Amino acid sequence: MNAPVLAYAHPQATHTAPLGHASVAYLLVRSSRRSIGLEVGDSGLTVRAPLRVSMANIESVLQGKAQWVLSKLDERHTRTQLTPRIEWQHGALLPYLGGTLQLSLHPAAPRGGELLAVGEYRWVLHLALPVDAPAASIRALVNAWWLRHARTLFTERLQRFAPAVGVQWQSLRLSNARTRWGSAKEDGSIMLNWRLLHFRMPVLDYVVVHELAHLRVMDHSPRFWTVVGATCPDYARLRAELRQHPAPDWVL
């Protein structure tokens, strides 16, 4: 009995190839690059190839990398299935700082949104929208509030921990990356992922300390982890927690 055929499809797919017991629809992007590159992201498989390379060569590379491609696509599918999703409606719940944030829609709410604590690890975000507002309108208003709130909170945590780490940071940028939680440059600029608001404050603080530590040590050598550990002794457990709990699938 033949194994069932699986199907993976990039939403902008231009070509399809049979790889093992799977049918993979992928996006082919040609450019002036010199070699064929394969990339499996949240949308699926993207193949980047030189302008003049033949489809036969592209198919040959795909077949040679079939096991790797399928393993990455399977990981992506599993991650997607496990990732919580948000229903953009009155009463919807979002994970927030290790607890839950409930959306409350009513036209009399403050225009920019108002966050109220209603219990331990429980908050309500009041939004100036009618209860039957379209999902896109709700998400847009939450997006705007979320970014403002993330910048304010991240700035506060950076200011708190920078003296302890012994560094000065210069600027903050917010990121929408799926898997990278932060970065730091030698010029003192810091990038932090807005999705960190979904995690407990100790987890968020670990990432803040991690990036500040890079202003002293730009690699991940034992010396770097010594700097992190001096301010965040529990960093190993917090780092594991960050990896084990997926953030909701929504886009700003």
Q: What average pLDDT does the structure give for the chain?
A: 90
Domain span holding position 163:
93-244
Q: What is the pLDDT of residues 204-238, one digit of tens each?
A: 999 999 999 999 999 999 999 999 999 999 999 99
Shared domain for 76 and 118, answered yes or no, is no
Shared domain for 16 and 47, answered yes or no, is yes
Shared domain for 129 and 64, answered yes or no, is no
- Which among 24, 48, 82 is the end of a domain? 82
Asked if the model's pLDDT at residue 248 lies above 80, the reply is no
| Residue 80 pLDDT level (bands cut at 50, 70, 90) | low
Shared domain for 99 and 72, answered yes or no, is no
In a domain, 249, yes or no: no
Shared domain for 147 and 202, answered yes or no, is yes
Asked if the model's pLDDT at residue 2 lies above 70, the reply is no
In a domain, 250, yes or no: no
Shared domain for 167 and 226, answered yes or no, is yes
Asked if the model's pLDDT at residue 4 lies above 70, the reply is no
Average pLDDT, integer, range 166-176 = 94
Integer Cα distance of 166 and 3 in angstroms: 58
- Which among 49, 82, 115 is the end of a domain? 82
89 C-beta neighbours (distance < 10 Å), count: 14
- Return the CATH number at 198: 3.30.2010.10
Asked if the model's pLDDT at residue 47 lies above 50, the reply is yes
pLDDT of 1 reads: 37
Going by C-beta distance under 8 Å and a sequence separation of 6 or more, which residues neighbour residue 54? Answer: none
pLDDT of 41 reads: 82
Q: What whole-number percentage of the chain has pLDDT above 70?
A: 92
Integer Cα distance of 237 and 73 in angstroms: 28
Paired residues of 114 in beta bridges: 126
In a domain, 87, yes or no: no
Shared domain for 208 and 122, answered yes or no, is yes
- Which among 82, 116, 138 is the end of a domain? 82
Average pLDDT, integer, range 180-209 = 95
Average pLDDT, integer, range 170-177 = 91
Shared domain for 233 and 113, answered yes or no, is yes
- Structural domains in the chain (count): 2
Asked if the model's pLDDT at residue 81 lies above 70, the reply is no
Shared domain for 103 and 228, answered yes or no, is yes
* Window from 33-37, 68-72, 73-77, 138-142 with minimum mean pLDDT: 73-77
In a domain, 252, yes or no: no
In a domain, 206, yes or no: yes
pLDDT of 3 reads: 45
Shared domain for 74 and 144, answered yes or no, is no
Shared domain for 28 and 112, answered yes or no, is no
Average pLDDT, integer, range 23-41 = 93
Shared domain for 193 and 237, answered yes or no, is yes
**Beta strands, E only, the chain:** 6-9, 15-19, 22-31, 37-41, 44-50, 93-96, 99-105, 114-119, 122-127, 171-175, 182-184, 189-193
In a domain, 186, yes or no: yes
